[in-house]
């Protein structure tokens, strides 16, 4: 019940949360930016469970006032991963440069969709 990005239809929120919102909250609090852009490799539908090791993403923070230290990056990961709701888990969070952005764009052309449909199952 979690979408990749905030999903609103006819002024009604769909789902409990989004990956974008959960990650953005922690990242923006430490970096003290004016805004952000969430870039994900591929997309997840709200009714499809993520399989495998996850999906890469970038958070581009606009007008950053504080570059997070390695300790702060770990604190962001720990905060998200220890949330009671367990909607999102992250690993290998780090500061990246423009090369990573180019690699993600290349990956979009090669993406493949894979889903397992399990009607009436509780996850």
Matching residue, tokens 């220890």 = 82
Catalytic residue among 10, 11, 34, 45: 45
> What are the beta bridge partners of residue 2?
17
CB 90 within 8 Å of CB 50: no
45 labelled catalytic: yes
Q: Which residues are catalytic?
A: 45
């Amino acid at each position: 019940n979690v979408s990749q990005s905030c999903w609103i239809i006819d002024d009604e929120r769909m789902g409990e949360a989004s990956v974008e919102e959960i990650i953005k909250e922690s990242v923006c609090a430490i970096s003290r930016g004016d805004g952000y852009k969430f870039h994900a490799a591929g997309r997840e539908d709200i009714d499809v469970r993520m399989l495998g090791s996850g999906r890469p993403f970038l958070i581009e923070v606009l007008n950053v006032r504080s570059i997070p230290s390695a300790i702060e990056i770990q604190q962001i990961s720990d905060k998200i991963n220890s949330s009671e709701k367990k909607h999102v888990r992250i690993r290998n969070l780090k500061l990246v440069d423009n090369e990573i952005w180019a690699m993600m764009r290349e990956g979009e052309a090669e993406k493949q969709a894979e889903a397992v449909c399990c009607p009436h199952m509780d996850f």
